[in-house]
Amino acid sequence: MKVTVTGGAGFIGGNLCRRLLDHPDVTEVAVIDDLSTGSLENLEGLDVDLVEGSILDAAMLDRVCVGASTVVHLAARGSVPRSLADPVRTHLVNATGTVEVLEAARRAGGAHVVVASSSSVYGANPELPKREHLAPMPVSPYAASKLATESYALAYQRSFGLPVLAFRFFNVFGPLQPAGHDYAAVIPTFVDAALGDRPLPIHGDGCQSRDFTFVGTVTEVLTEAVVRRVTCEGPVNLAFGSRIDLLSVVALLRDILDAPLEVEHQSPRPGDVRHSQADSTRLRELFPDVEPVAFEAGLRATVEWFRSRRAARA
């Protein structure tokens, strides 16, 4: 089977391409990526058919989607702060771009489409854990654009019978996730700072909590969704309901690295939610065989990856 991955040169995309190519049922992987945040390095050594271009370009999309059994749609302009800086661009890529991908899937004969929404859609809704039927309350343009991503996908399922699965990713972490830029996620920022002997920056008091999912678990679920062509009428949380606050992440890193690690508190970021934790009932019903990688094991694997990359670059 052929699988197309939009945003395949990104963090999750690069990990997913690797996993898909290891699966005996997958014969071909095609990628479309404009390399705005992704990089060719993430696909190094992989036998993928890469089209360098934007999902906003219908002709480019047709080139990669032809003959695809499933399109995994990961391409997006990520990060809450980036969306506050340029909401229109975020809308264009994340909302309009999703409609373009869904149209391409229709033109390709009705390919199965798996889309990446986000836990940020729950936003200001304080209820925990986050169950999919809670009212979405986006508090950033990014979150609103991700709500549009999943809404369009599910509407195409209802309107045109397109088989779709809309995942709400929570905080994904692991190898290939970049650090060292303004919009970097928290775990790579912490690990990079720790290995570079710099204080770990924390926005706010550090008591905010997240349901972190190791990228290997995310790609396992995505691959199974692709191979079994899993669909669902509503969105599906892709996280397993384990919640950890940032100060505890720092404590765990101290243990792993056997180092004191200083922290540096900075002002809280606008648009950030306080706590996040998934209800994983729907996910476990659809994917009963997936056992998530434990947080500490994932953190160790992430540290190892950062270490080996630093060594290779030294």
Report, in Å, the least distance between residue 182 CB and ligand NAD. 13
Q: What share of the chain is helix, strand, coil (3-state, %, to 5)?
A: 45, 20, 40
CA nearest neighbour of 142 among 293, 272, 42, 310: 272
Query: Min. distance of Cβ 49 from ligand NAD in angstroms?
Result: 15
Site residues, ligand NAD (CB under 6 A): 7, 9-13, 32-38, 54-56, 74-78, 93, 97, 116, 118, 169, 171-172
Q: Say if residues 84 and 90 touch (Cβ distance below 8 Å).
A: no
Element at 63 (helix H, strand E): helix 58-65
In whole angstroms, the minimum distance from the beta carbon of 247 to ligand NAD comes to: 20
Nearer to ligand NAD, 51 or 253 (CB): 51
User: Tokens standing for 230?
Assistant: 């899993």
Cβ proximity to ligand NAD: between 36 and 254 the closer is 36
Report the residue number, 96 or 231, with the smaller CB distance to ligand NAD: 96
Nearer to ligand NAD, 194 or 215 (CB): 215
CB of 57 to ligand NAD, least distance (A): 8
The kind and range of the H/E element at 73 are strand 70-73
State the minimum distance, in angstroms, from the CB of residue 9 to ligand NAD: 4
The nearest distance, CB 54 to ligand NAD, in angstroms, is 4
CB 147, CB 90: distance < 8 Å:
no
Residue 188 · residue 172 · CB < 8 Å: no
Nearer to ligand NAD, 84 or 254 (CB): 84
Closer residue to ligand NAD (CB): 33 or 111: 33
Which distant-in-sequence residues (6+ apart) come within 8 Å of 51 by Cβ? Answer: 30, 31, 32, 33, 60, 63, 64
